[in-house]
Structure 1
């Protein structure tokens, strides 16, 4: 059974992976408890890309403010994604949110990730990826960096598995690492906001179950035929 509240008695959030709750707990280990899964920082209740972002934010947030991440934990339980469009939309949203606040080196890396997001969006077709116009605008605003990124790209389209295992995690790493390296004021708040953007985007793009009773028209047709 999934619970949406942090159970009493669990340790406070701390950095890194823990063998058991007696040693501490990170963000995703807490999520595994709420999902009633085996204790793990890689639980099946959350898409791997979003879980990667959560672990990064957890580990780079200061001990003093890490506890403020706890209210977000229930939101990731059950967020398992919805195919390549979901992953691309999530990745692009995180990259675009971090882009203005990270150093130049991290901006280049994020734009390279957005190049991959754009390529995936083109391959999926118009309207398949949320935020495609914003991705296109960010690339248009940085033509030099985009040209540099494309020179290092093979040009071959990435499969869904490749995007999830390589491109998306790299964007998460660069977004979080860039915010930390920028030494911006109140970086803990910015990291928490970055995670919230990822969660909110994932929730908004999560496929909805088909409504119960979608076969009613055919049932009514069958009933009409039986009375004729």
Structure 2
């Protein structure tokens, strides 16, 4: 791969008509996968692809170029298991929650609880189970945590609603929360988020070892789920 990087389209923001005009992360993936040129290729799970497009569009040029080696790892990571959507949403929300501005913390905390509730439901586990990563992230924002729990107890979420609205909303909220956070290097955090989410998906879809503890579910206090408003990603 490294020997051919200089011959690949240059990564830049947004859609591109053809490789001569550049490429976003997912257009480059379609190119390498031998698919029709598209930023919505079939080779990658739609929600993972949405995260990759958002990261691509929200880092600077230098950090975007550094994403190129990640592109091959996203090819072939696709499937219909709703657990994948829930893991992606959970990784995004737990990463952004501790650094996000106060006005975004409630929505992100609700996203954490919604993803955990969906995973518990799909696994046939009792509601209220939280991963260690979720517990730590929620403990960073105790006020938002308690508000989110009250909100979630009063709301119900369907599997269709989670896949269509709540999970994409969590990804969008997380990226915006990181971009606007008061941290030294938001681009580095966005890259790490994409790397770890790819690793999570590979662990689920290919059986490769995970890189973080988001995949380890540990029982803690009560949790719930809620439908959050739809947040558009680049179509």
TM-score interval for Structure 1 and Structure 2 normalised by the shorter chain: 0.7 to 0.9
Residues 1:25 and 1:131: Cα distance change in structure 2 (over 3 Å): farther
Distance 1:56 1:180, change over 3 A: same
CA RMSD of aligned residues (A): 2.7
Q: C-alpha displacement at 1:15, in angstroms?
A: 0.2
Counterpart Cα distance in 2 of 1:106 and 1:27: 27
Task: Report Cα offsets for 1:77-128 as digits up to 9, x if no partner.
Answer: 000045112221222122212222221222222111112112212322239x
Change (3 A) 1:138 1:192: closer
Aligned residues: 203
Partner in structure 2 of residue 16 of structure 1: 14
**Deviations 1:142-189 (CA, angstroms, capped at 9, x unpaired):** 564245335377622321x32222111111111111111014212211
Change (3 A) 1:167 1:22: same
What is aligned with 2:195? 196
3-state secondary structure, aligned to 2:73: helix
Measure how far apart 1:68 and its partner are. Answer: 0.2
SS at match of 1:65: helix
Tell me which stretches of 4 or more aligned residues in structure 1 moved more than 2 Å: 3-11, 130-157
CA separation of 1:207/1:107 partners in 2, compared to 1, >3 Å: closer, same or farther? same
Match in the other structure for 1:205? 204
Structure 2 residue 50 is matched with structure 1 residue 47:
no
Instruction: Show the counterpart of 1:179.
Output: 178
Q: Residues 179 and 190 of structure 1 are in contact (CA less than 8 Å); yes or no, is this contact kept in structure 2?
A: yes
Shift of 1:138: 4.4
Tell whether 2:63 aligns with 1:65. Answer: yes
1:151 aligns to 2:114 (yes or no): no
Paired residue secondary structure (1:64): helix
CA contact under 8 A between 2:116 and 2:130: conserved in structure 1?
no
Per the alignment, residue 116 of structure 1 pairs with 114
Cα deviation 1:11-41 (Å, max 9, x = unaligned): 2100001111122100000000111110000
TM-score calculated relative to the size of structure 2: 0.76
Deviations 1:19-71 (A, max 9, x none): 11122100000000111110000001000110000000000000232100000
**Pair member with larger Rg:** 1
Q: Counterparts of 2:2 and 2:62 in 1: how far apart (Å)?
A: 24
How big is the shift at 1:206?
A: 1.3
Instruction: Confirm whether residue 91 of structure 1 aligns to residue 89 of structure 2.
Output: yes
